[in-house]
A and B are shown apart, each in its own frame.
Chain A
Amino acid sequence: MTALEIKNLVVHYETPEGVAEAVNNVSLSISSGETLGLVGETGAGKTTIALTIMGLLPRPAGRVIKGEILVNGENVVETSRRKRKLHSKDKMLRKLRGSSMGMIFQDPMSALNPVMRVGDQITEVIRLHGNMSRSQSVKRAKEMMELVGISSVRYNDYPHEFSGGMKQRIVIAMALACNPGVLIADEPTTALDVTIQAQVLELMNELKRKFNTALLMITHDLGVVADICDKCAVLYAGEIMEYGTVEHIFNNPRHPYTLALFNALPSLDKDVERLKSISGLMSDNMNLPTYCTFYERCDKRCQRCSEGDPVLTQIEPGHFVKCFHLAQEQEDKANTPASEVLLNE
């Protein structure tokens, strides 16, 4: 069952300097129990997508221009500018946040209230969405703490009394307290050390399986994606460049940008004398080109790439790439008569 579906999402930030096109025509879907990894560099629009789903875009700068986000089949975004309508969506979102969708933020210290006991912070979520009495909520909060590996005797401690990894566990407990169908994790382990990261990822994976949650994992670390995701979308300058199962992305990456990402990583298994990096920077999203956004940095570019913007094309079942060259290849293959394919093989 599809738990979260994003259709043709376009998000702009309207600033005094101009309009920043943060997300351009992004479509994704995640089923229950599935994990989708969203990877990209700083400024690719990963966090904007997460904030849009949660209805937390900074206002008035951030605005959804186009598109739909369906959480359990209900559209949660409002593209109209009229205030009254926004208000109705706001009410709806307030209900959905916490109960149908939860979010884990990157920095657990700033996600927790420093002057409130951690137990009360978990209880608060349950009180608001769980439809339970006070004592039941406290009991449930204690259960959640035990579930994420923190003894419930620490219910009355404050966030500063916990280490980074423990705080992140508390945040996970809060996000999952009402058993939401969709969990959005925005760089949940970036602030943590590797051994703690491994613990937290293991915990998230385990809980996801237990609650059959759809997980949107936002990260810049391809290693994390390989570890726990089922599907992966590679984001560049607000657009999806490549989308497929992790097998597609890791065993058969096709888009020049995805390949560049893999080549730039120092590897633990192979000895590489020199890393391959591409020059230049990501296109400024205040001034995006009308042609392929990766054109300037691409080693396969040709004239066609500077004339039009490619669309996301399926090159094998479930594997999509946004590149003229690969789309062309696919077309050629399709046009080749079956007899020739046999001959070539």
Chain B
Amino acid sequence: MNEILQVKNLKKYFPAAGGTLHAVDDVTLSINYGETMGVVGESGCGKSTLGKTILRLIQPTAGEILFEGQDITFIDQKKFKALRPKMQMIFQDPMSSLNPRMSVSQQIAEPLCIFKVFDSREALYNRVLELMDTVGLARRYFDTYPHELDGGRRQRIGIARALALNPKLIICDEPVSALDVLIQAQILNLLQDLQKEHGLSYMFITHNLSVVKHISNTICVMYLGQIVELCNTKELFGKTLHPYTQALLSAIPIPSLKNRREKMLLKGELSSPVNPKDACRFAPRCPYAKEACHNSSPELVDVGGSHKVACHFVKEINGI
């Protein structure tokens, strides 16, 4: 068994004014041991909901989530608690995910206390110091509070806390979006080092394609709750097939003058995820949209080399 996590036809609907909001709609993906799956998309595409639903922080509507082969989709919270240490999360904004009234050491020790990992205070103390060393937090911050630290250090507390129980899978929800580039590079390097050392698997949720390219083995591009393209990183950047991914790639400002190129500008904005019609959700903004796109929803199909695309006209558009 290679997959640490398998998600099959996962759905999460929210009741909303005027119908149901399809936040995550029929998502199927899997993450292998020791690998990183990058999830990219714009705000409102359901990427954070997907991450939270997998960790059961939000209850799924339908579908299946298998963690190490065990179905965890609807098991009750008591049983799930035993699995919690194995799957953890790092949140985007460290200031709002940390408790402002707990010191650095208390925050890191909290999961260890909840799961009663250590009998003695000394062992707990040593483990907290060890974790602080692992994530590169100087020991002098042991008794400081989050507001005294800068964004990068705060994010390191979040990482230390997630690592405390030796998890196997960490879901990182935009862990570097709030940070400056130099700090971002430090945190990305740290996450990569930790992955090598501890054999972690990551699901890396972000809107930044260059970050995702740097850190992921496979990438899944989402649009309005659905996966539009899913394949390994090299393949995606070498051979982008879905028009949305193409537009997304072309829209990224690249810090180089060689690439000052004509952009593929998308018109309009995301349509509403409330009661979506049975149609391609990208069709209203797609430059290649034809009638068929407005009448039926395309399936995610393998176009060879485990490169999956959800587009009716993928062959015509890319000439394959």
- Interface, chain A (partner B; CB < 8 A): 41-42, 163, 165-166, 193-199, 201-202, 220-227, 246-247, 250-251, 260-269, 272, 274-279, 281
Contacts and interface: CB of A to CB of B under 8 A. Distances in A.
Contacts of A166: 269
Contacts of B209: 194, 268
A260 B182 contact: yes
9 contacts: A193-B207, A198-B263, A199-B265, A202-B263, A220-B180, A247-B257, A265-B255, A266-B210, A268-B254
Given A165-B269, A221-B253, A267 B188 contact: no
Contacts, number: 114
A interface secondary structure, majority: helix
B214 A266 contact: yes
B251 A262 contact: no
Given A194-B252, A195-B251, A264 B182 contact: yes
Given A226-B256, A266-B188, A194 B248 contact: yes
Contact of B269 (A163, A224, A263, A277): A163
A42 B256 CA distance: 22
A197 B253 contact: yes
A251 B182 contact: no
Nearest to A264: B185
Contact of A277 (B151, B185, B251, B256): B185
A226 B42 CA distance: 22
Given A202-B263, A266-B210, A266-B213, A226 B253 contact: yes
B244 to A, nearest CB: 9
A41 B181 contact: yes
A227 to B, nearest CB: 5
Contacts of A226: 253-257, 259-260
Interface string B184-214: 1110110010000000000000010111011
Given A195-B266, A268-B249, A223 B181 contact: no
Contacts of A276: 185
Contacts of A251: 257
B237 interface: yes
Given A195-B266, A250-B256, A250-B257, A278 B251 contact: no
Contact of A223 (B185, B249, B250, B253): B253
